[in-house]
Amino acid sequence: MDTDPIDKSNSKRYPPVTGIGRDEHVGMVREIFATIPKRYDLLNHLLSLRRDLAWRRFAVRRMSFFNTFRFLDVATGTADLAIEAARLNPAIQVTGIDFVREMLEPGRQKITDRGLAGRIRLLQADAMTLPFPEGSFDAVGIAFGIRNMPDRLRALREMRRVLVPGGRLFVLEMTFPRNRFWQGFFNLYLNRLLPALARLLSEKPAAYHYLADSILHFPGPRAFMSLMEKAGFPNPERHSLTFGITALYIGRRPQD
């Protein structure tokens, strides 16, 4: 029996995230991100009408550095959040981690091109077991990464562990808007426009079905904030961005 959940052809779909186990989900995520890095930035900017850049900047502007002067970008992909954090905070050192080597390669190139190689390092690592001692960073960020992690509680607890007491976590994630009008529009966008554009521009359009599916199944604000509380971030903040299609969640690791 063929147990590989991943469609190797460009025309077939990935299985819905609700119908698969955690290991299968992680395997699928690894495969998807290993196959799309070449066009990832272009599609990201195009499909969000470049709002993704503004969303990352919005998060970075809220960060503060006061102890280690270090920032960790989890699921850094092509390193956009890491680069934005380094650009806006000249006094900090930045580390980006991602478990897909292929995503890190264009990120490394961008870092070198922008003259930031001395301040940003990228490592291949899994967000479930971060290779850093407790209390290593003043701020930790994760942009559009957590919905790809089936064990979100574990990911949140790991990010809390590596924060200094008083340090803050910044989670950017796309969500399904609450407003009825935008829901209809976003539905059309996710299920029609995005796959059509992906078919035109991506070598792996099927990956964009997964993107739509993973956004539709990401927990709503209340559920996600209670998960943050459970992970040890009391009273998290939430900022709704661009008609609610993206949210920034901020959690603070309390002083011990």
Q: Which stretch binds ligand SAM (CB under 6 A): 92-100, 180-188, 198-206, 216-224?
A: 92-100
What lies within 8 Å, CB to CB, of 193 at 6+ separation is none
Q: Interaction with ligand SAM in 25-44: which residues (CB under 6 A)?
A: 29, 33, 44
Instruction: State how far the Cα of 77 lies from the Cα of 217, in Å rounded to an integer.
Output: 21
Q: Which of 14, 58, 71, 99 binds ligand SAM (CB under 6 A)?
A: 99
Nearest to 196 by CA among 212, 219, 184, 178: 212
In this structure, are residues 48 and 215 in contact, taking their beta carbons and an 8 Å threshold?
no
Structure tokens at 64: 């503060």
Residue 215 sits in the site that holds ligand SAM (CB under 6 A):
no
Residue that is written with structure tokens 């359009």 in the block: 205
The least distance separating ligand SAM from the CB of residue 86, rounded to whole angstroms, comes to 14
Burial tier of 242 (Cβ tally within 10 Å: 0-12, 13-18, 19+): middle
Residue 150 sits in the site that holds ligand SAM (CB under 6 A):
no
Residue 127 sits in the site that holds ligand SAM (CB under 6 A):
yes
Q: Which stretch binds ligand SAM (CB under 6 A): 71-79, 132-140, 195-203, 222-230?
A: 71-79
How many chain residues interact with ligand SAM (CB under 6 A)?
20
Site for ligand SAM, rule CB under 6 A? 29, 33, 44, 75-77, 80-81, 98-100, 103, 126-128, 143-145, 148-149
